[in-house]
Amino acid sequence: MTAVPGSTRPPDPDPGTDWNRTAAEAHRTSRIRHARVAPLAAFRAFWPLVRGNRVAVLAAALLLVAASAADAVAISLAGRLTDDVLAPGDLDAFWGPAALWLGLAVAGAAASAAGSYLSGWTSEHFLLGLRDHVFEHLQRIPPDTLDRYGTGDLVTRLTGDIEIVETLVAAAPVELITSAAGALVFAAAAFRTSWQLALITLGAAPLIWLGARVFGTLMRTASRAERDSNGRLASLLEESLANMPLVQAYGRQRAEHGKVHREGRVWMRAGLRQIRLSSVYGPLGELLETLSVLAVIGAGAWQISEHHLTVGGLLSFAAFLSYLHPRLQELGELLVGASTATAACERLMEILRTTPAAETTPRPDVPPLPEPVHGAVTFQDVGFSYPGAPGPVLHDLRLHIPPGLLVAVTGASGAGKSTLGKLLLRFHEPTRGRILLDGRDIAELPVDEVRRHITLLPQDSMLFDDTIRANIVYGRPDATDSEVLAAAVAADAHGFVGALPEGYDTPVGKHGNNLSGGQRRRIALARAMLRTAPVLILDEPTTGLDDAATARIMAPLRQLTAGRTTFLITHDRRLAALADLVLHLTDATAVVTAPEQLATEAA
């Protein structure tokens, strides 16, 4: 067992000293500029997630197009009724067209209802699939990297941003096909009625398209600012609410309110910019439509006077126009909406482009770890530097740890103690060198297999809002009741759990707030004991506990470490003195210290 010192450069800041940085740090570092993505590129990036429902998308579009075609034929029948029934007063000519009109109305209503339902069904399934896809990717990203976003911002991306992306990827294709086909149907019907009036009507189409392009670009920038501010505000609220006891105890309510208010004003201004653009775009479209209608009425009156068009024909054309203009307006709004949705797409693509902690795919010729795994850990010239850091956190660490050894990892804050644990768990990969488990390079093994043989007891007990039993079995869901009881007894938790009215079915509350700090720690200990992995990482196991609580968990800690290769990350020299070996990290180097020396210093 040797540790070889490296360079003597001063220690570098360790961006991951704790397993989770504060939300404040995440809030500060989450102000990230997104790379611009064209709407078509954003659509292509997420369209594969609709692959399984493309038939439903096509069916929905065809049904809605059929409903538009039924409306067009019904409008033609209205013109016939005007010229053949109302003008001459011939009631006998009414019944045939009326029955056909009623049949078209029923068929159109059925097609519209079925198409709308299929479109909604596709959208909801896309939402579910996209959220699952993004969340699954998030679960593979190192905790340090996730922290730079902030919890509130990530929740916003998994909810609001995903819903906006759905409007571009799942809903927009149906709307595009329906609106474009509807515009073609009603344009063709209008041309059939009067090509002169149709040309006047379609003269407004280029203006609508140009306005959509201009407003789409402006809306895209405004939407990006709004989504970013919304994420920052969510992170700020999450941070402030989580720390409310400290806020109230220090009398900092006004300061926190000021921060929330300032970010809220930024969000409000971004939202108002969107509202201003929308409030201008809509009326401009209506103005163009009004000008087109007036031009059609004037030209239609002239055609009637010249006997080129009947009154029924003009009424039919006006009806076609009332259907055509909304379709053209919808196409313009789709372009604006697509530009707006790209901001949300960019925020999701930023997450999906974040490289997971370990991407190494095991080769078929690499066999799995033979059972049982003993827990021998070897560091072969391991070095590690955080991206952007001025120097390494670890440098040429060379150390072999036999199975069952208790190794205390000590050093100043930022010296790389927690980084060592993250490298073992493959939250990060070494910059250089290798880490071996029972003689096998862990980089060649599946990440899940590596972590299956390592148990982490983090500094924060990290309980879920569930029952005590559910929290104990979290790392081993198939554990029996007797195994749960044995783990609780070994962790000195059974006594207080048995005294609770609901016993092991007692809810622990949000973050375990229904329990004391010592009780939360013992539940976490029971969870670690139940997992029975051969390698154990204890990150500051006594932090936040008083002397009495520390003394109470010492016996369970000794039982937990018995027979396991244990890395005890600690600042407590008294705790480190219990180890078989002390690994002291300083100046990016590792120094082996005898535990007897630390015991003397602690005394």
pLDDT, residue 602, reads 43
How far apart, in whole angstroms, are the C-alpha atoms of residue 54 and residue 443?
Answer: 39
436 pLDDT higher than 90: yes
Higher-pLDDT residue of 498, 310: 498
CA 508 vs. chain centroid, Å, equals 27
Q: What is the mean pLDDT of the chain?
A: 77
pLDDT at 173 (0 to 100): 83
Predicted confidence band at 36 (pLDDT cuts at 50, 70, 90)? Answer: low
User: Collapsing DSSP states into helix, strand and coil, what is residue 533?
Assistant: coil
Average pLDDT over residues 571-579: 78
End-to-end CA distance of the chain: 27
Tell me whether strands 535-539 and 581-586 are parallel, antiparallel or unpaired: unpaired
3 state DSSP class of 240: helix
Label residue 85 by pLDDT band (50, 70, 90): low
Question: For residue 427, is pLDDT > 90?
Answer: no
Residues 356-375 have pLDDT tens digits of 765 545 556 667 788 888 88
Considering only 96-105, 275-284, 507-516, which range has the smallest mean pLDDT? Answer: 275-284
CA dihedral 215→220→225→228, nearest 10 degrees, is 150
Q: What angle do CA 43, 152, 465 make, to 5 degrees?
A: 115
Q: Is the pLDDT of residue 292 over 50?
A: yes
- Which pLDDT score, from 0 to 100, does residue 232 have? 81
Per DSSP, the residues of 124-138 read HHHHHHHHHHHHHHH
Q: How far apart are CA 603 and CA 601, in angstroms?
A: 5
pTM for the full predicted model: 0.69
Question: Residue 516: pLDDT band by 50, 70, 90 thresholds?
Answer: confident
pLDDT band at 89 (very low <50, low <70, confident <90, very high): low
- The label of the residue with tokens 């029923």 reads 106
> Residue 413: what are its φ and ψ, rounded to 5°?
-60, 135
Angstrom distance (rounded) from CA 470 to CA 526:
11
pLDDT for 290 equals: 66
Residue 223 C-alpha from the chain's centroid: 18
pLDDT greater at residue 246 or residue 174 = 174
Contact 281, 211 (CB under 8 A): yes
Does the pLDDT value for residue 524 go beyond 80? yes
Whether pLDDT at 560 is above 50: yes
For the chain, the residue count is 603
Q: Where are the domains of the chain?
A: 31-352, 377-602
Closest alpha carbon to 53 in 117, 115, 125, 113: 125
Write the burial class of residue 169 (CB in 10 Å: 0-12 exposed, 13-18 middle, 19+ buried): buried
Beta-carbon contacts of residue 157 (< 8 Å; ≥ 6 apart): 134, 149, 231, 347, 348, 351
Of the chain, the percentage scoring pLDDT greater than 90 comes to 5
Between strands 432-437 and 406-411, the pairing is unpaired
506 burial type by CB count under 10 A (0-12 exposed, 13-18 middle, 19+ buried): middle
Residue 304: both structure tokens together: 């009637």
Q: Which of 40-44, 76-80, 428-432 has the highest mean pLDDT?
A: 428-432
For residue range 445-457, what is the model confidence (pLDDT) as tens digits? 888 888 889 988 8
DSSP code per residue over 147-170: HTT-HHHHHHIIIIIHHHHHIIII
pLDDT tens readout for residues 169-216: 888 888 888 878 777 777 777 777 766 766 666 666 666 666 666 776
DSSP 8-state assignment for residue 352: H
Confidence of residue 128 (pLDDT cuts 50, 70, 90): confident
Task: Please check whether the domain covering 31-352 is classified as CATH 1.20.1560.10.
Answer: yes
* pLDDT over 50 at 57, yes or no: yes
Residue 379: predicted pLDDT: 92
Model confidence at 595, pLDDT cuts 50, 70, 90, reads: low
Rounded Cα distance, 67 and 65, in Å = 5
**pLDDT of residue 330 exceeding 60:** yes
What whole-number distance in Å separates Cα of residue 472 and Cα of residue 524? Answer: 7
pLDDT bucket at 84, cuts 50 / 70 / 90: low
Architecture of domain 377-602: 3-Layer(aba) Sandwich (3.40)
For residues 582 and 415, give the distance between their C-alpha atoms in angstroms, rounded to a whole number: 15
Q: How confident is the model at residue 107 (pLDDT cuts 50, 70, 90)?
A: confident
Of 539, 490, 538, 547, which Cα lies nearest the Cα of 518?
A: 547
- Give 206's contacts (C-beta < 8 A, 6+ positions apart): none
**Highest averaged pLDDT of the listed ranges 148-152, 562-566, 598-602:** 562-566
